[in-house]
Amino acid sequence: MSKKPSDSKISEHKLIIGSGSKLAKAIAKNKWSSDLKNHPWYDSKYNTEKGGLQAHHIVTTESLDGHLWKLWREAYEYDINRANNGVMLPSSTIIACQVETHVHRSNHNRGLDYDTVLDKYWGGKAKPEEIPDEECEKLYSELRTYLKGVYKQISEIKKRAEKKYYCKSSKKKEFTEDLDDAAEDIVDKLNSFHWTLSRFGKDYAPSSKIGCGGGHIESEKKSREECPHRLNITRTGHAIRNKLGKVMEPKKLEAGS
């Protein structure tokens, strides 16, 4: 009886664990010539790998952390740290205020989904109204959160996976493609500030006068005062420069950058 060759092996894809550091490297390679110092929001006061930036998993690690999702990620060879599932965001409230984007601080369990109140404050109005803090607390109590929004965004993918749609070898890669599409839709929500990543995320929207509130705090103790930068008061605006020597400016978020 002939023996099998000793070097015969079955290739197996292992579950890839979410890692902010690995995601940052993937984004840097994808968009910034493998060096985040080329990113327009890299803080010039740093000389580190990320320069005050943090990598955000758009389809969050929490939303893909269930038992079935882990099985599917492994079976369909999904890399949760792929560039298309990430964006680089400032960890500084001051920079987030200046460039009118979301501040990234650890988990996002206080981020909110404003879809149900958009017509009330923004619909058909020449100038969007500020959404009051009381409305935010109401949304949070109703569990209308960023994380719940992400679950909803990927619910159709979950249904497909449960029906074994991706099991055919010809459909396997569609699992990753569908999650990439979901990530792009989520980025659109973030760009419009229909969804936020933090309790006070709405403060950083272009229409808000609060911004960073003149400070570095992103917690319940955050000042609700209007930031002088947002009021365009002479010589009080933020003018933080990036590593390329340019004053940081607002730009739309893009998956993979």
| Structural domain contains residue 249 | no
Q: What's the chain's average pLDDT?
A: 91
Mean pLDDT, residues 203-208 taken together: 93
Q: What predicted TM-score, i.e. pTM, was given to this entire model?
A: 0.90
| Structural domain contains residue 232 | no
Over the stretch 106-150, which tens digit does the pLDDT of each residue have? 778 899 999 999 888 877 777 777 889 999 999 999 999 999 999
Domains held by the chain: number: 1
CA distances in angstroms from 45 to 5, 28, 148, 180, 242, listed in the order given: 58, 19, 36, 34, 8
Top mean-pLDDT range of 120-129, 195-204, 213-222, 230-239: 195-204
Sign of the alpha-carbon torsion through 228, 195, 246, 21:
positive
Full domain range(s) for residue 55: 20-204
